[in-house]
Amino acid sequence: MVAAYFLRDYRALLVGVMAGYLSGCGLSYALHPYRPAWNTHKMAEIWALTKWLMLAGVGGFFCAKATS
């Protein structure tokens, strides 16, 4: 309502929508009891699988480009 009063055009709607999403996200994070934390203890295990999946994806891309 404040943005609509001061802006008096379509930008007030944009400001209102963004404020609604940001406040909803902030409040849900602040009020929820479980907050995930960044953890790098298992990064080596994750990378062991991910590197092969990435290599397979890149190989599939080049094979598709070579045959077309």
The domain spans of the chain are 1-36, 39-68
pLDDT at residue 47, rounded to an integer: 87
- pLDDT for res 21: 94
Q: Decide if 45 contacts 37 (C-beta within 8 A).
A: no
23 — pLDDT class (breaks 50, 70, 90)? very high
What is the distance between the alpha carbons of residues 34 and 53, in angstroms, rounded to a whole number?
31
Kindly report the pTM of this predicted structure. 0.42
Cβ-count burial 1-12 (b if 16+ within 10 Å, e if not): eebeeeeeeeeb
